[in-house]
Every structure is written in structure tokens, then in C-alpha cells.
Amino acid sequence: MRIATALYHQQAIESINQRSSTMAKLQEQLTTGKRINRASDDPIGAAEAERIRASTAQMALEKRMMSFATGMLNQADGALASASDSLQTARELMISAGNGSLQAEDRASIALQLKGVRDELLSIANQRDGAGGYIFGGQGTASAPFTPAGLAANPAAPAGTQQTGLDMAFDTTVDGTKVFLGDGGGGAGGSIFSALDSLIGRLQDPNVDGATLRTELDAAMATTDNSLDRVLGARTAAGEQLRIMESRGRLLESGELQAASRLADISATDYAAAVSDMQTNQLAVEAAMRTYAQISRLSLFDYL
């Protein structure tokens, strides 16, 4: 009889402890709003939740990188638009300079205007990006990418662009030597600066003959047209990357929402279920305590 009573005592205490432990966990879930507060609560669910958090952190990092690239490319697009306007102005001035009835003073006036356009283009080519670099700095440069003479400041540096991104890479700079110098060299055939400098010199020469001036104008016009094509091509490339990033951004936002929903399903507290379980366990604890109280009062004398 003593063995049976001891067994009942042990079972009643274990039941009370188990129910109390369950209630403590439920209370913690209701307080924190999390169903999983430690890995031991649900090892499989905790592992999946950690994978979701890592994935979400990666998506957030990619969005920050894309945001930076978007800002840089928007600046580049604006600078390229300004360069396009300047080149169009230069082209119009060249057409005016081709008028055979102009006097030396007229050509000198056009040369002065072209000098202003040329300086404007150089300023655009050396425009900073607001992040310590240069929009047309290619793969990166600590100084202005072009000299006052319109040459690449560091022609030995590899051409290309700086990029950022995780799953996809996006440009954060533009290859200025390609845009403004054509093949990356400083010759008149590709460099808009050299072409303008040469033409300005001819227009400022009061003794230049018509044939020489026409040859110079044709060469400058061809270089200007090529430069315009390269500027428009760079704008198209930047615009396409901006479009892709916008689409990619929507995809990442959708992924973040799905991840948040799944994480909530895994780890968030179901308050209705938790409260119901809490009440059930409370009743069970009270019943176990009543049972324990009855067993603890049992004595052999009760059966004599």
C-alpha cells in the first residue's frame, strides 16, 4: 500500500511540474509574441526560421546595393543628357560655321561659343557622383578622370565600370574614355575634345582658307555625331539597367513579404490557440493539485 501511495505521489508531482512547465512556455509565448523563443522549443522550426532570416537579410542587402546603383545611374543619366544637349549645341554651331559668307570676326565668335561648349563638356566629364568618386570615372579614380586638355587623366587604368550587386551586377560608374574619347585614346578621330580644339583653332585663324575649314568642319561634325551616338548608347544602357533594377526591386519586395509571412507562420504566437491551451493546462494543474492533496491525506488508518 505504501508503494502505491508513493507512486501516486510521484505521478501527481510530475503531472503538476509538466503542466506548470507548459504553462510557463505558453505565458512566455503570449508575452513575447513568439512561438519559438529558443531552439529547443522547436528545433526544426527554429532552423527554418534562421534560414528565412538569413535570406531576408540578403534580400535587404541587395536592395541597398541596388538603391546605391540606382542613385548613381540616375546621376549618370542626367549627366549624359547634359552632354547630349552640349553636343547638339556644338553641332548647330558647326553648321553655322559652314556658312561661306561669314567673316573672320563671325568665325571667331563661333569659336568662342564652341570653346564654352567644350569647357562645358569637360566639366560634365569630370562631374563628381556625390559619393567621393566621379560619374565617368570608369573602374575608379581618386582624381578627375580627364585633364584640362581633354585627355584621360590616367590612361593606364583599365577601362570599364565599377559595379555592385549580389545575384545581379549593376554599374555605378560610366566608362568616360569610351563616351568622350571613342576608342579610349586621345586622337582627334575619337576624342570630342581634340576635335573641338582643332576646329576652334581653325575658326580663330583669320587666314584659314575655305577648303581647309570645310575639311576641319566635316571631321569635327563626324566626331560629334559619333560622340552623340556613344552618349545615347550609354543612356540606353543606363536606362535598361534602371528598368531591370526596378523590376528586380519589385521581385525582392514580394520575396520579403513571402518570407515575413512564412516566418510568422513558423515562429509567431497563435494567441487564440495559446490562450485556449493556457486555460486547458490551468484546469489540468488545478485537477492535479486536488488529486495530490487527496493522495497526500491517505493513510492506512483510513482502511481500518
Based on the domain organization, do 200 and 77 belong to the same domain?
yes
Domain count, the chain: 2
Based on the domain organization, do 242 and 192 belong to the same domain?
yes
- pTM for the whole structure: 0.75
Based on the domain organization, do 285 and 203 belong to the same domain?
no
Based on the domain organization, do 114 and 202 belong to the same domain?
yes
Based on the domain organization, do 140 and 200 belong to the same domain?
yes
**Which of these, 273, 88, 96, lies nearest to 192 by C-alpha position?**
88
Based on the domain organization, do 107 and 25 belong to the same domain?
no
Taking residues 149-166, report their average pLDDT: 81
Quick check: 187 pLDDT over 80? Answer: no
Domain for residue 262, yes or no? Answer: no
**Distances from the Cα of 253 to the Cαs of 49, 63, 73, 245, in angstroms?**
18, 9, 21, 12
Residue 1, pLDDT score:
42
Domain for residue 263, yes or no? Answer: no
Quick check: 15 pLDDT over 90? Answer: no
Based on the domain organization, do 142 and 211 belong to the same domain?
yes
Residue 37, pLDDT score:
67
Domain for residue 180, yes or no? Answer: yes
Range of the domain at 140: 54-247
Q: Rounded to an integer, what distance in angstroms lies between the CA atom of residue 9 and that of residue 291? A: 9
**Which of these, 234, 134, 119, 121, lies nearest to 179 by C-alpha position?**
234
Based on the domain organization, do 91 and 231 belong to the same domain?
yes
Average pLDDT of the chain, as a whole number: 83
Quick check: 19 pLDDT over 60? Answer: no
Residue 110, pLDDT score:
97
Residues listed for the chain = 304
The letter for the amino acid at 60 is A
Q: How confident is the model at residue 289 (pLDDT cuts 50, 70, 90)?
A: low
Domain for residue 238, yes or no? Answer: yes
Q: How confident is the model at residue 301 (pLDDT cuts 50, 70, 90)?
A: very low
Task: Choose between 46 and 39: higher pLDDT.
Answer: 46
Based on the domain organization, do 193 and 65 belong to the same domain?
yes
Based on the domain organization, do 72 and 117 belong to the same domain?
yes
Domain for residue 264, yes or no? Answer: no
Chain mean position to CA 271: 38
Domain for residue 17, yes or no? Answer: yes
Cell numbers representing residue 63 in the block? 536592395
Based on the domain organization, do 240 and 274 belong to the same domain?
no
| Residue range 61-98, pLDDT digits in tens | 999 999 999 999 999 999 999 999 999 999 999 999 99
Q: How confident is the model at residue 160 (pLDDT cuts 50, 70, 90)?
A: confident
Q: Rounded to an integer, what distance in angstroms lies between the CA atom of residue 302 and that of residue 304? A: 6
Q: Could you tell me the CATH number of the domain that includes residue 139?
A: 1.20.1330.10
**Distances from the Cα of 208 to the Cαs of 54, 107, 260, 292, in angstroms?**
71, 10, 74, 118
Taking residues 106-125, report their average pLDDT: 97
Residue 12, pLDDT score:
60
Residue 157, pLDDT score:
60
Domain for residue 154, yes or no? Answer: yes
Quick check: 159 pLDDT over 90? Answer: no
Based on the domain organization, do 84 and 217 belong to the same domain?
yes
Quick check: 117 pLDDT over 90? Answer: yes
Taking residues 189-218, report their average pLDDT: 92
Three-state DSSP at 227 gives: helix
Domain for residue 8, yes or no? Answer: yes
